[in-house]
Amino acid sequence: MNKDIAQALQEIATLMKLTGENDFRSMAFDRAARNIESFQGDLSELIENQQLSTIKGIGKSIANDILQYTRTGTIPVLEKLREKVSPELMQWLDIPGLGPKKIHAIHQNLAITRLDQLKTACEDGRVASLPGMGKKTAEKILLSISWMEQHSKRCRIDEATKIAHLFIDELKKSEHVHDISVAGSLRRALETIGDIDILLSSDSEHASKIMDQFVRFHQVTEIIGKGDTKSSVRTTSGRQVDLRIVEPRHFHAALLYFTGSKEHNIVLRKRARSRDLVLNEYGLYPISQEINPGETSPLPIQSESDIYHRLDLHFIPPEMREDYFEFDLFEAIVDATARTEGKPDQELVSSHDLKGVIHLHTRWSDGNNSIEEMANACIKQGYQYMCVTDHSRSAAYAGGLTIEQVYAQWKEIDRVNNELEKIGSPFRILKGTETDILADGTLDYPDELLKGFDLVIASVHSGIDMPADKMLDRLKKAVSNRYTHIIGHPTGRLLLRREGNKVDLEKLIPFAADYHTAMEINANPWRLDLDWRYGGVIRSTGLMSVICPDAHDISGLDHMIYGIGTARKAGLAPAQVLNTLSLKDLSDWLNQKQ
């Protein structure tokens, strides 16, 4: 509730600025929003007892607005402001460097609301001629609009990872850097990333030199802002990278804070308060202590784990910090002798747990490498087996295999396996397919062929706009097929390109668990499908998942790490991931289906 109220108040503050209303009123709502968001007590109790004004920054008028919101779901002043401000004008807020006041000035003086009108006004000199604007402001707005047109606000996790590593490798060249890490949504392995956050620790006297090194890096095309402890730049790929520098003693608390999520941090701060502690980006302090980050020393903290342990929690991995279900899984058992006795309820899957690669394509369909080349690459990465799953015959666009080609491929797999056996390699290649699920839910190959495969992945590649109820029936039929072992990329989404199908996964997941059918966590960074948000129902039903790279070449094997991140966000243990099994155990599991 705190979050929703804070968002409503913040929207009022922004809209007031856009409409040119009194600065003091907008500032009051902005301050109230921040105080509500950080409030650690029971807000509902204060509302019920009409004591909201006891919160700093909440006057009688705003208290009445909050009361209206809790009763009706809206605030009269908010509705009136929304009527005054065009939704198209709201889009201008996404333009870096163009705040509400400048937007109001441009809108009022030039009577324009659309982004294309703003672009034209910057090009023809009208914006530059306005008081307080000038040529440089117009040029900066044009540059930002250009970036917006060329690049979406968010990017795939693999793109963000590559950019972050370039900057981290550069910054590590400085001898004055103590600790360095990505933070924010990238560290949490979120499926798409906005700004890329990097945190490092260094002694304060060296911060300025490190900041200079950061903004002068050859990947930087624009300095958005530069300060003593935080700077933001635009990269050649159009992404924004933010760097924060903290003193070494504050690093672990800052890493926890700037990793987020905001919702996770709110719960942590509330737990700290209940234990007479204050948690912020500088550290953990006794609640009775007057906190001055420059002078006051926090409690001794050597790692993020120390902070969690002080709050009677096991260490919560960064991927799970979304305030979904992590606090239930990592609550500690506390007694008089140890703050965190016993293991957490869930040990998360890691890259070390994976024994084999399932779901990869070769030159037989739309892959770029041979079976032998893919096998050698898997062996090099330490896997014990792989399963070739080229497309089925209906996927003509992807070189889907005819029945005759399937038999020929099986012979090729036998040949490569024999050669591996001759040289004493224990590695084995399984015969699989990614067969299309047809519109009626049947599979693309006849049963007599399907039963010859070691493993069958069934996927939807067409008709993804089918109504939700029909899609559920279609997938249920495929799940219940005795030859289906895995449902591939269940929604068929392509991140930042298209939404997936509308199947009700809350119903499909338990159905699949009942039929001993696994569901794929497709690790391709365009997909990351299953979505991690279904982790609760996956765990509760005992569904087996499987982390697959959907690799179409050797480099695609490296996508496994993104699937692992998604599985960890879902809170999955190794026991619920199919390819953590040895080859023998996997074969036993596959045979149980039939």
**28 and 57 Cβ atoms separated by less than 8 Å:** yes
Dist CA 223 CA 280 (whole Å): 28
> 65-74, 81-90, 94-103, 226-235 — which one is most confidently predicted on average?
226-235
pLDDT at 70 over 50: yes
CATH class as words, domain 2-150: mainly alpha
**224 and 97 Cβ atoms separated by less than 8 Å:** yes
C-alpha angle 394-436-431 in degrees, rounded to nearest 5? 100
Which residue, chain included where needed, has tokens 């991995």? 317
Q: What is the pLDDT of residues 465-484, one digit of tens each?
A: 899 999 999 999 999 999 99
Dist CA 222 CA 485 (whole Å): 50
Dist CA 453 CA 262 (whole Å): 47
Nearest Cα residue to 500 out of 510, 508, 509, 489: 489
State the CB neighbour count (10 A cutoff) for residue 368. 15
**Mean pLDDT of all residues in 130-154:** 80
Q: What is the pLDDT of residues 283-322, one digit of tens each?
A: 999 987 766 655 667 899 999 999 999 999 999 999 999 9
What's the number of CA atoms in the CB half-sphere (13 Å) around residue 587? Answer: 9
How many residues make up the chain in this entry?
Answer: 594
112 vs 197, more confident: 197
Long-range contacts of 396-404 (CB under 8 A, 24+ apart): 398/365, 398/366, 398/461, 399/364, 399/365, 399/366, 400/365, 400/436, 400/444, 401/364, 401/365, 401/433, 403/445, 403/446, 403/449
C-alpha angle 260-265-269 in degrees, rounded to nearest 5? 155
Considering the domain delimited by 155-246, tell me its CATH architecture.
2-Layer Sandwich (3.30)
Q: Where residue 336 falls among pLDDT bands split at 50, 70, 90?
A: very low
pLDDT at 572 over 60: yes
**Mean pLDDT of all residues in 376-385:** 97
State the CB neighbour count (10 A cutoff) for residue 377. 21
**580 and 588 Cβ atoms separated by less than 8 Å:** no
What does pTM read for this prediction?
A: 0.75
Q: What is the pLDDT of residues 92-101, one digit of tens each?
A: 887 766 788 8
Nearest Cα residue to 566 out of 259, 156, 154, 264: 156
Q: Would you state the pLDDT for residue 405?
A: 97
- 155 bridge partner residues: 193
The CA–CA distances, whole Å, from 170 to 73, 155, 167 equal: 49, 22, 5
The structural domains of the chain, with segments of one domain joined by +, span 2-150, 155-246, 259-329, 351-593
Q: How far from each other are the two terminal CA atoms of the chain, in whole angstroms?
A: 49
Q: Where residue 152 falls among pLDDT bands split at 50, 70, 90?
A: low
Q: pLDDT > 90: what percent of the chain?
A: 68
Name the percent of the chain in helix, strand, coil, to the closest 5: 50, 15, 35
Q: What is the CATH number of domain 259-329?
A: 3.30.210.10
Q: Where residue 1 falls among pLDDT bands split at 50, 70, 90?
A: low
- Give the CATH number of domain 351-593; options: 3.20.20.140, 3.40.50.10890, 3.40.30.10, 2.60.120.960: 3.20.20.140
